[in-house]
Structure 1
Amino acid sequence: MRRKIGDPELVKGLTAAYSRRKFFVKFILVLLAFATGVVTVMNLRKPGGPDGVTRKGIDVVIALDVSRSMLATDLAPNRLERARQFISRLLTKIPDDRIGLVVFAGKAYLQMPLTGDHNAAQLFVSSASPDGIPLQGTVISDALKMSNTAFGASESTYKAVVLITDGEDHDEAALSTAKELASYGMMINTVGIGSAEGAYVPDPATGEPKRDETGNPVLSKLNEAELKEIAGLTNGVYVRLENSEEAVNTITQQLSQIETKVTGDVSRMNYTTYYWCFAGAMLLLLLIESFIPETKKVLA
């Protein structure tokens, strides 16, 4: 082997202080440090106590209209922002309920599945906007069907929908869909956003009122009649959003009539973590490795 490297005597002199045993020990220490580092990143933990493990509440899906008409300013600063404020206050009133979020315009999407993480719900609500849905319009029946899908097929009780919209429905199937979902035990509470007089829908590109095919400004009016009928068909309640606090109290009072259930909630569970033990072991191994030389003592 030494002959392949170079002059055997020269190679022997250059490697006289090399210690194969110490090099092997250093390699093992680095390998162990890497393994403990991997375990550190895994963040091993166990439940630290019963607090927050269970909750007693219901499942609530919030169906939020994000069509362009929700940008109308008959409610300051606009309908969509007032709807966001309403949802934020509602979430503080129902801390033990699981929340799902459906956004809809010309098509409905499940933005967030049912979860007990209300902070995540707040984040999704704050980011909901008409830009997230390419197909514009207001299709309430699709929103109700998607809300029902969010609950899953196993539950027949403990579930409610809070439908927040200006009610300008472009689909006549909303009432029949509501009647069908009522037979499955769903309560639909409706929140009307806007005014009967209506307001012009602004064009985001120009800031001017949006115009239809004939060139006339688009006027969006609150359709209370349909929203009241949807709520009535499903043992829900209709409320017009004028004062957010009063609207929240009305909705929460209605939701309190639904029988609650006890469910597990991992997001609220307290944990005891052990990553620091493995992190300390990793640092100790690296420290020991750094003090071990690769060379051996050579007697003169």
Structure 2
Amino acid sequence: MLRFAHIEYLWALAVIPVFILLFIWVSRWKSKALQSLGDRNVVNNIVADVSFSAPRLKFILFTIAYALLVIGIADPQIGSKIVEEKRKGADLMILLDVSNSMLSQDMMPNRLENAKQAIAQLIDNLHSDRIGIIIFAGEAYVQLPMTTDYSAAKLFLNSINPSMVPTQGTAIGAAIDLGIKSFDFNDGTGKSMIIITDGENHEDDAVAAAKNALDRDVTINVIGMGSPEGAAIPIYQGNKQVGFHVDSAGQTVISKLDENMGKEIAAAGNGTYVRATNANSGLNIVMSQIEKIQRKTYDAKSFKDFEDRFQFFLAAALLCLVIEFFITNRKSLRLSKVKLFEVKNP
């Protein structure tokens, strides 16, 4: 597995075409300047000991050295093998509501983006706990299986949007059931779920699913997104808002936070309910509850054996520069005497 520790430095390679264009322009300018001096044969005799191929070779070596230097500074690294290690932690599954109502803007910039920002902060504060992400609307899907790769977790998190679940609704119970199936109960680690939703569950019995999870020693905490007053649900075409959802009577649909539903699910799952605000996501309160669950040692696998390879590129760049330095613009007297294709008269 190859990666760059500072991949942004590779943008410096974009100037190589500029170098090439400048070299071509200067070469043509020199050629025209020589032609302007007079007869070409006479000029060639005057500059007979000047090598016209040496500048090209020096430029090629310089360009290669520059490219190798940039790659070296970007620090290419190779993960040679998967490293197994022992970690002590718990399993935390995030159940994120991605129904259209989560686009309501009674939280800034909207409920869903506010929730994603809170989850990103949560990931930043994790150390050895495994995390997974399930998204749900009318159906539930595993977006990220249990992992300790927090970078991957944030990458998957950034890509989440309502279009990922084609069936609309809010099937919280289905998400809880899928969360239970995603846990490995053989490793003995503590399990917990955090449901982030506006609570408008219309699809199934979420409270019964929460009780079933508690029977498996999985606690469930709920963070309510939105406000009891609610807000309209915007409609987007691409990135442009084109209106709001309306009901069959043509009235604008107002999505309101169902706090009672959230409290019932949290109570059934022996967890905590918190209502998020623009100033406070409520994760601190929920995490204080999660800290109480049991943490055990488990086997973790990751590409940790990354080895730096920048030294090879820097050494090759230095070698090219040294060779370029010793190449002169004058012809070699010894090489000029060698005439491989000269035909001698008998």
Structure 1 and Structure 2 fold alike (TM over 0.5)? yes
Change in CA separation of 1:45 and 1:77 when aligned onto 2, cut-off 3 Å: closer
**1:40-63: CA deviation from partner (whole Å, max 9, x where unpaired):** xx974485xxxx932211000100
The number of equivalent residue pairs is 234
Deviations 1:21-49 (A, max 9, x none): xxxxxxxxxxxxxxxxxxxxx974485xx
Pick from 279, 284, 290 the counterpart of residue 249 of structure 1: 284
Contact 1:53 1:268 in 2 (8 A): no
**Superposition deviation, residue 214 in structure 1:** 2.4
* C-alpha deviation, 1:226, in angstroms: 1.1
The CA distance in 2 between the partners of 1:92 and 1:160, in whole Å, is: 18
Deviation per CA, 1:106-160, whole angstroms, max 9, x where unpaired?
A: 1000111000001111111111111111101111001101111110353565110
User: What are the Cα deviations for residues 149-177 of structure 1, in whole angstroms up to 9, with x where unaligned?
Assistant: 11035356511001000000012411111
2:307 maps to 1:266: no
Matched residue, 1:34: none
Distance 1:86 1:163 in 2: 12
Q: Identify if the C-alpha distance between structure 1 residues 185 and 43 changes in structure 2 by more than 3 Å, giving closer, same or farther.
A: closer
**Which of these two proteins has the greater Rg computed from alpha carbons?**
2
CA distance in 2, matches of 1:198, 1:230: 20
**Structure 2 counterparts to residues 126-205 of structure 1, below 5 A:** 126-154=158-186, 157-205=189-237
CA drift of 1:266 comes to 2.2
> Which amino acid is the alignment partner of residue 277 of structure 2?
E
* 2:261 is aligned with 1:229: no
C-alpha contact 2:107 2:278 (8 A) present in aligned 1: no
Partner of 1:239: 274
1:87-113 deviation digits (Å, cap 9, x = unpaired): 011112222110111000010001110
Residue number in structure 1 paired with 2:126? 94
Distance change >3 Å, CA 211–CA 262, structure 1 → 2: same
Give, in whole Å, the separation in 1 of the partners of 2:122 and 2:255: 26
CA contact 2:90–2:129 (8 Å) conserved in 1:
yes
**Counterpart AA for 2:296:** K
Alignment gaps of 5+ in structure 1 = 1-41, 278-300
Q: 1:46 to 1:60 in 2, by over 3 A?
A: closer
Change (3 A) 1:104 1:113: same
* Cα distance between partner residues in 2 of 1:255 and 1:43: 33
Relative contact order higher in (CA < 8 Å, ≥ 6 apart): 1
Distance between the aligned counterparts of 1:244 and 1:117, measured in 2? 28
Give the letter aligned to residue 209 of structure 1: F
1:211 partner letter: V
Computed over aligned residues only, the root mean square deviation of the Cα atoms, in angstroms, reads 2.6
Name the structure 1 match of 2:89.
57
Partner letter of residue 117 of structure 1? D
Distance 1:103 1:222, change over 3 A: same
Deviation of 1:262 after TM superposition, in Å, equals 1.3
Of 252, 273, 278, the match for 1:217: 252
- Deviation, 1:245, is 5.2
Residue ranges of structure 2 left out of the alignment (5+ in a row): 1-77, 313-346
Q: Could you tell me the TM-score, scaled by structure 2's length?
A: 0.62
Per the alignment, residue 110 of structure 1 pairs with: 142
**CA deviation after TM superposition for structure 1 residue 271, in Å:** 5.1
Tell me, in whole angstroms, the C-alpha distance in 1 between the residues paired with 2:119 and 2:82: 34
CA distance in 2, matches of 1:58, 1:268: 21
Contact 1:178 1:233 in 2 (8 A): yes
